[in-house]
Amino acid sequence: MSEKTTYAVCFGEVLWDNLPAGKKPGGAPMNVAYHLKKLGVDSYLISRIGNDTNGEELKQVLQVLNIDTEYCQVDEEQPTSLVEVEISPENEVTYEIVYPAAWDYIEYEGRLKPLVQNADALIYGSLSGRNNVTRETLAQLLELSSFNVFDVNLRPPFYEESYIAFLLGKTDLLKLNLHELNLMAGWNQITYKDEFDKIKLLQDKYHIKEIIVTKGSTGASYYSELAQLHHPAYPVKVRDTVGSGDSFLAAFLSKKLSGEPIESTLNFASAVAAFVTTQPGACPLYTKFDIKQFISDKGEINAVPARTLD
């Protein structure tokens, strides 16, 4: 690891999704780390697996995906994380994120200090804070990082308002979806005129410099003191939406960390997310050339300005 190399650290859960058709690797931090690597940004994953067959297999998957496993701890007592996925005859999907799991016990280690201090971004979600051990480790890392990126990922019942508020107070860049924005705005018992009011409350209350709201097929919006923009989604035939939000965030950061203008950054992130939905799984094979070709084939879409915040 070189201090001069641009890199990001992804913190939190890695797991197996136990599907009726078989198990697949998952976890937002893993997905973001994968897409960062594909897009030219070195990434390191801080997580924890069990000393079991599932853990060994997951580590092998990470290595195949070119995700660095140096900071993926091994737990001698807790099992590698499983998410039990059930699909009803009516195609309704339910998830059980089995508790406890190894990543609930990510320990703070001295070697994590220089890793996070020298990183260009620390990316984390709310799910990893469902247990105090991992929660306290993340709290220490947030104080070391120079750029904190909160990718919300609310997963009931594993969140509480007070902890989300703590994380928001440490955040420089916030990414959330419309459902999460509306839910979190509702915690304040305030009447809002529109989305801009909800965003402004979060920015003012928690001093968040940048907020991204992903909106699926209608695109994504970006808010900062300098710009309020909306980027429409690229029209595609969707094959699989799993991991598209993670790829959006990774693509956004890959351009932001290299100093690209926000308009081209949003366009690239939107294109990568759209491309990923046309592929199977959260971590499909692709290159930056594939994304360039995708944009060329579709025709570049420009962001549109939103009205100025009150």
Encode pLDDT of 154-181 as tens digits.
Answer: 999 999 999 999 999 999 999 999 999 9
Residue 296's pLDDT is 96
Residue 27's pLDDT is 95
Mean pLDDT of 237-265: 95
CA distance linking residue 123 with residue 114, whole number of Å: 16
Cβ neighbors of 147 (< 8 A, separation 6 or more) are 119, 120, 121, 122, 172, 173
Average pLDDT score, the chain: 94
Number of residues written out for the chain: 310
**Proportion of the chain above pLDDT 90, given as a percent:** 86
* Identity of the amino acid at 292: K
Encode pLDDT of 64-117 as tens digits.
Answer: 999 999 999 999 999 999 999 887 777 676 789 999 999 999 999 999 999 999
Residue 3's pLDDT is 47
Block residue for tokens 């968040």: 208
pTM over 0.85: yes
Encode pLDDT of 9-40 as tens digits.
Answer: 999 999 999 888 789 999 999 999 999 999 99
**Proportion of the chain above pLDDT 70, given as a percent:** 97
Q: Sign of dihedral through CA atoms 284, 287, 288, 293?
A: negative
Encode pLDDT of 270-306 as tens digits.
Answer: 999 999 999 988 999 999 999 999 999 999 999 998 8
Residue 307's pLDDT is 65
- Whether 242 has a pLDDT exceeding 70, the answer reads yes
- Whether 196 has a pLDDT exceeding 90, the answer reads yes
Domains of the chain: 1-154 (3.40.1190.20), 172-310 (3.40.1190.20)
Residue 4's pLDDT is 62
